[in-house]
Structure 1
């Protein structure tokens, strides 16, 4: 095999039982050199160990004496043949067999060409705690347990691309000239500079993106070249892509956070004394960047006396609704408040 793509296809066919007899023999001859059974779920360290074992085997083969019970001409051919096979396997491992197998659905017509494996770092978080990864552009990634990030040691001149499996928090350095792309199985998230979560879990058949600061656009990988920017998200908003149904659903994050501070650069306070609820809700909209609507405009004049500064947004809403004998509902990216009114 002369390319990782060809080797990857062959190994995948072998693992799926779709090889021809000659292909099957070739794969088994490769792995016979190192007494390993072919599989596709090696970790990066296992691939390195595999390569090391392979070259040790090559060295031992190369130093066999010429007085073995095989004709020298046949021995020379066999050594050349086996060494050639082993070198091909080692080269393919170094070039990224794992990378190919894990990303067979990448469409080169819509996603820019991947960097060579010598430029790619693969970080697996096998621990029980998040780990922090610093990228060369100053961006950071907090990789959740049981997740993996693939990223180039040096970004391209016109873009920054990483691939994620699992969940991570991205804090991206702003660079309008080099957009930042997070690529998962079927979804691409594009940003210029912001912080956001991406969750891609095969078991749930969905991919989620939640924005903390800034703005991102999320779209299907296969539609990257379309003029449609996909779903545009702002802080405290999220989108869920259902991989089976192939559609997006937008909503609000579980714990919305304040997005602006007061003039003194301190967190906004929410202490009110007979303040009209309409005024209170306007401030919540401004600080959290979320649309809040009253089902009945008359409710806006109901007074609120309370200090709800330290409460999370949804608790704030519970307290407000208690004063009007009402309730709130999250409908998409909007919060709708209804109630009987005040005395």
Structure 2
């Protein structure tokens, strides 16, 4: 192992980094009595090593007569070897400590508590839902917002207004909340999502817009169809239970009960819908924007609502996306491991470390904390 002269000079001046010190001291431990290194530099390195070991209580001062260069090298080789043992002992302890610290960090990433959500009122006021206790009331212009005994957002409208008034529920990573709409329909909003809706519906149609993911239980009303509007799709509903996933570059509607119709055309809130809906779903079917897919169990689509991760026949890459949304941690999967499929159902209230350890029992993986993100690689 060769040492760069500039790095060596910084060491002799006491200006090197801890990592450079370790490198130089490990290198010095490899020197032999026949080293051709300049004698003065060897002596200076020896003095620095000796001083460091004395400071750390590993060497006592012993009166020594002036030694020849060879004897000096041999003597300081032993001294440096001891220093190297110290250095590498610290290094391996640090590596082990770092590994344990990484696991401790992941263990400290607990499942989120509370809703981690805000409600944006018609006047653009934002209220953190976690600051509202059950039974609390928000007073707005012409209406009131409550949190009922189940923690669900509900409304009381004093009188009809000429123009529609929209509220928005916005969840953060690890967030989830539910809303009871004006017609009694209920919506559960998943992490990193936004649901916008009127506080009262028009006479001819009901409508909401969604970015992210939500589960709907829509009240039947044959005279007023219910529409879920998003960037590239519109869902038409009469009365049914279904889930819509509408994150960036990812769309999927899954029907649990009833019947829904879809189109790959977007409509905006306040806009009357006059479209054909060529795609129709029956229970246990989903639509990804291109094709209809049969689902063995459509309830898997609402695992998040029921409090667990359903990773049955799920790619590790998709599992990482779900974990990232929930724990608010960027998780990357390396290489071909992205397409490996796992089969597991895991409680969402467990720490991130526990979840990764459970996955590790299915697919042997290595995971490490690196630059504020988790990297999952093959276990070699």
TM over 0.5: no
What band does the TM-score fall into relative to the shorter chain?
Answer: 0.3 to 0.5
Q: TM-score scaled by structure 1?
A: 0.38
Of structures 1 and 2, the larger Rg is shown by 2
